[in-house]
Amino acid sequence: MTTLEVRTRQRTEFVDITERVRHLVQQSGGREGLCVVYCPHTTAAVTINENADPDVVHDMLSWLNRAIPQEQADFRHAEGNSDAHLKASLVGSSVTLLVEQGDLVLGRWQGVYFCEFDGPRTRNVQVSVRST
C-alpha cells in the first residue's frame, strides 16, 4: 500500500489524482488485478467522474453545497463541519478500479478525484494495487 499526500486550497474542492494513481499501478508491475483508492478521513471522499470538462466538478460541488449547506440550525456537531461529514458519507470513502495490461481501466472521460469537504488541508489517500 502507498500513501499519497493531497493538499487542498479551498473548503470544498475536487482534486484530480488520476495520473498519480495510474503511476502507482504502473510501478506495481502487475498486469491484471485491482486498485483500491481509499480516503481515511471523515470529511473527505474519493470518487470517479468526468475529468474532461471542469464544469462537471463545478456542478457537482455546487449541488452538494446547495443540498447540504455548511450552516444549518439543527446541526449539533461542535466542530462546525457537519456538512462535510454528510458530503463525505454520500460520496464514499473508496473506489475500486480494474487493472488491465498494467493500467487503470477507466472510461474515456473518467478520472479519479479526491473530494475535500473541510479544507484547506493536507490529506492522505491510500492506494493498494493487487495482481490477480
74: number of Cβ within 10 Å: 5
What do you get for the CA distance between the two ends of the chain, in Å? 16
Burial level of 25, CB count in 10 A (0-12/13-18/19+)?
buried
Complete edge-to-edge strand list for the sheet that includes strand 13-16: 13-16, 110-116, 44-50
Please say whether the beta carbons of 124 and 40 come within 8 A: yes
CB proximity list for 110: less than 8 A, separation 6 or greater: 48, 49, 50, 51
What are the structural domain ranges in the chain? 2-131
Q: What are the pLDDT digits (tens) for 45-82?
A: 999 999 999 999 999 999 999 999 988 778 888 788 99
Per-residue pLDDT band at 112 (split at 50, 70, 90): very high
Per DSSP, the chain holds a count of helices (H) and strands (E) of 3, 8
* Pairwise CA distance, residues 25 & 34, whole Å: 9
* Domain 2-131 in CATH 2.60.120.460: yes
> How far from the centroid of its chain's Cα atoms is residue 77's Cα?
23
Q: What are the pLDDT digits (tens) for 18-52?
A: 999 999 999 999 899 999 999 999 999 999 999 99
* Pairwise CA distance, residues 46 & 102, whole Å: 22
* Pairwise CA distance, residues 75 & 61, whole Å: 20
Cut 0.75: pTM above it: yes
